[in-house]
Amino acid sequence: MAPAAFEAQAPQGEDTVFSSSSVNDASTHRSKVSVIGSGNWGSVASKLIASNALRLTSFHDEVRMWVYEETLQSGEKLTDAINRTNENVKYLPGIKLGKNVVADPDLENAVRDADMLVFVTPHQFMEGICKRLVGKIRPDAEAISLVKGMEVKMEGPCMISSLISQILGINCSVLMGANIANEIAVEKFSEATVGYRQNRDVAERWVQLFYTPYFIVTAVQDVEGVELCGTLKNVVAIAAGFVDGLEMGNNTKAAIMRLGLREMKAFSKLLFPSVKDSTFFESCGVADLITTCLGGRNRKVAEAYAKNGGKRSFDELEAEMLQGQKLQGVSTAREVYEVLSHRGWLELFPLFSTVHEISSGLLPPSAIVEYSEKQVRSF
């Protein structure tokens, strides 16, 4: 059933397919991998990477995972608990990460000598993390971002992969997909998409690092398209949660998902005309949208927000329901709204606009199905 390990889009639009054996033999260089982030998804990513680091000779066995240090209720430091139990007892309990995963609370030490850097933290912390790493990483390091979100600056929106490249001066690919972390943790079949810029060999190595029989990874030459899919689907998931909380039914939810996909594609192409239509049919696109609207944390908390009539804030619900994990959809909706407002595009994106206005308390949750009365431009 599993598709080929690597499907890179050639300039003529034809797919070039690499067998898993050719990927595994791509290089004799032993890369050292560091994972910057240790939440739910970061821990699962470390588990995937650790299994391949032990199995393949092209990687050093040890995988360092940077942990934002916390003190557990027991009084033990989270880092100590992870290294003692080989589990992230707070964010991924019951799942062994691999004996070669070493939790490290020292960011500089965690990335020392690594030439493959995997970023997987909430997007609102990424700029600060990158600034702390300036001058601390290898100049030949390659990065990959698993981070969903964007930074909005005076000069316009900045994708996280671009933020990493600009601050650290290194190339950055992205990995996105229909990836609910707890399902991958127990090795249920899933897919993901690597987005890369120019270097196909680098993309092959990222595929090699993440690919397992239950986690199928393909690569496409479209960083912005892959990354925007992973970012914007969280906004649509908030809308889907409102629909669920108001018990509007599956027809309404399907309509919201379709309209959301349309706005995802239109927004992406307005910002980056190079984004490919085909990217929206990869795992990072429609598949990620579906799974996030059915089972993700953004949908879950938005459902609770709607059930409470918008009377309890997202911050309050996040703290109560997610045990330290962070929502991305609400902050992304705000950032997207800032872009739309600045560029005069609000009326072109009624769903995105309405999600922010509901999330910020300007409109009631029921407005999610009233937005269609606005003038909508067809894309």
Identify the sign of the CA torsion 206, 53, 25, 179.
negative
Q: How many CB atoms lie within 10 A of CB 140?
A: 8
User: Is residue 168 exposed (0-12), middle (13-18) or buried (19+ Cβ within 10 Å)?
Assistant: buried
Strand, coil or helix: 1:
coil
Neighbours of 28 (CB within 10 A): 7
Backbone angles phi, psi at 77, to 5 degrees: -70, 140
Residue 29: which region, alpha, beta or left (left: phi > 0; alpha: psi -120 to 50)? beta
**Residue for token pair 């689907």:** 233
- Contact partners, residue 337, CB within 8 Å, separation at least 6: 346, 352, 353, 356, 357
Residue of 347, 238, 266, 364 whose CA lies nearest to 309: 364
Residues serving a catalytic function are: 233
* Rounded Cα distance, 47 and 44, in Å: 5
